[in-house]
Amino acid sequence: MSWKLVLGWFWTVVFGVFSLGAFGVAWEKYRLNSRGRWIEGEIVRVDEDKDSDGAPRFYPVVVFTPPDGDRIEVKSPSGKPYPPGLASGVGCKVDVRYDPASPTTIELPGYEGVGVLPALLVGVVLVGVTGFIAFEMLL
């Protein structure tokens, strides 16, 4: 087997996996938008992490109790490059959108992350790139 063929298959698999990941993000966001419920929660702490460039990212951790469940503590999946302001800091009440089927899937106002459409577009572009690479290998 030639190295071009091996490299082509490698990139086909890589882009294929990334496209599936983008479609997974779009599906999760769609489910949260379509069946999510709003509930009042409380910010109990703010976790600090670093992004890929080493810059700080701040992720609020909230607690809430769904009507038919136990108390849940969840870290926001999306962060910001600065900590929440005084009006939304530790101990403050905040609206939380959660998925009743998966209560640890949440969204906080101002920490929405990527939307359904951008994730779908990325998935479609990656499928196109995967198809192009696979087509080129067949020639």
| Contact between 40 and 96 (Cβ < 8 Å) | yes
Rg (CA), the chain: 20
Q: Which pLDDT belongs to residue 21?
A: 94
End-to-end CA distance of the chain: 15
Give residue 83's pLDDT: 76
pLDDT of 87 higher than 60: no
The percentage of residues in the chain with a pLDDT greater than 70, rounded to a whole number, is 96
Tokens describing residue 118: 């951008």
Q: What is the C-alpha to C-alpha distance for residues 11 and 4, in angstroms, rounded to an integer?
A: 11
Higher-confidence residue: 68 or 74?
Answer: 74
Cα dihedral sign, 47-52-56-58 = negative
How large is the average pLDDT for residues 87-116?
86
* Residues sharing a CB contact under 8 Å with residue 123, sequence separation 6 or more, in sequence order: 19, 20, 22, 23, 26
The whole-number pLDDT of residue 88 equals: 63
Task: Give tens-digit pLDDT for 11-69.
Answer: 889 999 999 999 999 999 999 999 999 999 999 998 988 888 888 999 999 999 999 88
- Mean pLDDT across the stretch 67-77? 91
Rounded Cα distance between 123 and 77, Å, is: 20
Side chain identity, residue 58:
F
In whole angstroms, give the CA distance from residue 91 to residue 77. Answer: 19
Please report, as a single letter, which amino acid is at residue 139. Answer: L
Residue 38 near residue 96, CB atoms below 8 Å: yes
Residues in CB range of 24: below 8 A, 6 or more apart:
none
